[in-house]
Amino acid sequence: MTDFDDDAAGSIASAALAVLREQGPLSLEEWATHLEEYGTATELADVLEYLSEPMLGYLPNGKYVALDTVLEGLVFTHRLSEVEIASDILDASPDLEPILAFGDDDGAIRVALAEEAASERGAAPFRSRRVVVLPAGTLGECADGDLVGLAVEDGTLAFRLVEIEDEPDLAPALGELFEEDGVEALDSVCWQLLIEDPSLFTVPVAPLGEIFEVAGYIRSFRTDCSRPPTVMSVAASAVAPACGTACEHERELLARRGFDFDAYDLQIRTALVASTYDLTHDEAVSAVAFVDLADRGYTDAVIADFDIADWAHRHVSAAPDSFVSLADPGAAVAVFDLGFRNQDPVTDAILEALASELAERGPRSVRAAAHWLAGKAVDRLGRVLEAEAHYEKALLAESGWGPALFELAQFASDRGDATRALSLLGRIDGGSEENLYAVLQDFVPADHPELGRNDKCWCGSGRKYKVCHLGKADESVKADGRWLYKKACLFAFASEFVDIVTGLDDLENENLSEDELIAATIFDGSALDVALFEGGIFAEFLARRSELLPEAEVVTAAQWPGIRRSVYEVIETSDTGVVLLDRGSKETVTVAHSVEGEPGDVISARVLTAPTGAFAVGVVVMATESQAARVLEVLASEDLEAEELVRELRGGADHSTDDR
């Protein structure tokens, strides 16, 4: 996408909507030609495609429209249920879908996620993903089956009690819009119908769901990729897609009666998976089939207790070749990311059972992938040594299978064997670009070419070099805590923690310039450290990796969960360390590594203890005394929240930056 600064992008967005209101509907190319003062048509088309605006609609014919110019003054009806009357909440789907863009938070009538609205009002669950929330008491005089209307008046939603005044026959117009076996988004179809016949819905008519049923059309809430996914109005806002991945939204879809929505959904999800993970069609088919099978198993397991191992055996042995295309590492990674990225004991048990069965009974070519998937499952179930055995079996099946090599490299690093970890990474295409590879450079055994094998060791032990430190890391490096901390940081990059880590990292960096973002790494700043401790990841690291860690590191790590971050003033600096005054406890501590500054500087950090002394991590320089005070206040809270802490560490969202 072409880069414009914020002011230019804002000007383009305003001008673009003004043009669309005056000239629309317009194709992307037509739209761009009206904005030539801002750049070439190609550049502008790039910008317009990524424009996010509530009043922007996308039509079945590929054109864009400003919704407020089409929907102002129109009324859409809905037939009430008892649940809706009791809660003053209306199911949005399908009757009110076309006008949901107008239900913003500023109006008396608002659009909300169904689960949140039901919780707010203490209501029963709703069928729709989104609902229209009316002022309390609005439906108090209504009865089950009554017809109500929502009109668009001056850009907001207005409630009306209505009676049907017209019964339009939409079958001919719909027939013109739909191909023989076509499917379209319901709201887009309505907008197109209104453009072709502006008289529609100017007076109350039957609810949309009833009109479409009479015309011979059926509805389904499915993943919709019939429009550019980057152009979304509120009426098609993003929710979790059925495929769990690339598609950015789901919508109410419409098709002729008899249309196979399940087959369509499978086709769309398969295409999305292939595109997102760069898989062949067969690989995507296998990946989706495996995840769907696991989903069915999860549903069965939740509804009724059953033997997961027996269930997996029956399904895999019935068609062992169904998943042959998972042999590709990319396909196996896609399976894990699509179906198992979130940690859940039942899901992990199902993955273990299916993958183990596939490893035993599936084609030879898929054994490496199957053992890797089984290893990922048992690792999260707390059986790290079994996971390691699965990864080793994966390499016996295929010696160069990258994902298994990477997992074993991490395990070798956790054990303190940097040499083996680097050797395993070296067998992976692109292994030197991994974060683990960069981390290990600080802990690889140091050679001393000036010493012969039988010379006394450089460390002063009095032993020969060959039996002391030849091919071994400096023990002081292992004892100073830095490697242990980095092991925990790398563990935090696991898929089940990605939302915590990236969420805090995005929060910390949201005010950085593009150049600052490029220069920053996730190891910089406070986000990763806060994710580890306040986010709970370090506790999980200890629970799942203690069997691999050297005994001395287990003892050290056990002390860290109780150490809180604080605010420190730099008192003195020297070659041996930095003396810090804890602004909270008023105690001083001397730390080494990663603390740069002059006496008088104020920082926030977590000071961890290790056998060789203390060291600071997650260091953030306080910009002002008021910021330091706010951070201390947050840190003193009994209910410390990770997001609030990162927000204050980055400078706060709504505070001035007064000089110290």
The string of pLDDT tens digits covering residues 304-350 is 777 898 999 999 988 888 899 999 999 999 999 998 988 889 999 99
Of 247, 190, 240, nearest to 224 (Cα)? 247
Give the Å distances, CA to CA, from 41 to 25, 28, 30, 47, 72: 17, 9, 9, 10, 30
pLDDT of 479 over the 90 cut:
no
C-alpha–C-alpha distance, residues 404 and 629, integer Å: 47
pTM of the model: 0.77
Kindly indicate the confidence band of residue 461, based on its pLDDT and cuts at 50, 70 and 90.
Answer: low
C-alpha–C-alpha distance, residues 546 and 342, integer Å: 22
Q: Could you tell me which residues are beta bridge partners of residue 131?
A: 91, 112
C-alpha–C-alpha distance, residues 495 and 485, integer Å: 19
The residue written with tokens 């460390």 in the block is: 459
Summarize pLDDT for 584-640 with one digit per residue, the tens. 999 999 998 667 778 999 999 999 999 988 999 999 999 999 999 999 999 998 888
First vs last C-alpha separation in the chain: 41
For the chain, give the mean pLDDT: 85
> Residue type for 334, please?
A
Sign of CA dihedral 638, 643, 647, 649: positive
Of 97, 163, 105, nearest to 129 (Cα)? 97
Kindly indicate the confidence band of residue 79, based on its pLDDT and cuts at 50, 70 and 90.
Answer: very high
Residue 393 token pair: 């079996």
C-alpha–C-alpha distance, residues 556 and 480, integer Å: 10
Give the Å distances, CA to CA, from 306 to 301, 396, 546: 6, 33, 32
Residue 560 token pair: 């860290």
> What is the strand order of the sheet 250-256 is part of?
183-185, 250-256, 217-223
> Residue type for 164, please?
I
Return phi, psi of residue 97, to 5°: -50, -45
pLDDT of 294 over the 80 cut:
yes
C-alpha–C-alpha distance, residues 195 and 25, integer Å: 9
Return phi, psi of residue 363, to 5°: -60, 150
SS3 (DSSP) at 41: helix
Q: What angle do CA 312, 318, 320 make, to 5 degrees?
A: 85
Kindly indicate the confidence band of residue 576, based on its pLDDT and cuts at 50, 70 and 90.
Answer: confident
Of 50, 43, 46, 51, nearest to 18 (Cα)? 51
User: C-alpha dihedral over 268, 270, 272, 274, to 10 degrees?
Assistant: -150
Q: Of 508-512, 518-522, 526-530, which one has max mean pLDDT?
A: 526-530
Q: Cβ of 29: how many Cβ atoms within 10 Å?
A: 12
| Percent of residues, the chain, with pLDDT higher than 70 | 86
Residues 99-111, mean pLDDT to the nearest whole number: 84
DSSP class of residue 349? H
User: C-alpha dihedral over 410, 413, 415, 417, to 10 degrees?
Assistant: 130
pLDDT of residue 359: 95
Return phi, psi of residue 180, to 5°: -55, -45
The residue written with tokens 């059925």 in the block is: 242
pLDDT of 431 over the 80 cut:
yes
C-alpha–C-alpha distance, residues 332 and 286, integer Å: 9
pLDDT of 476 over the 80 cut:
no
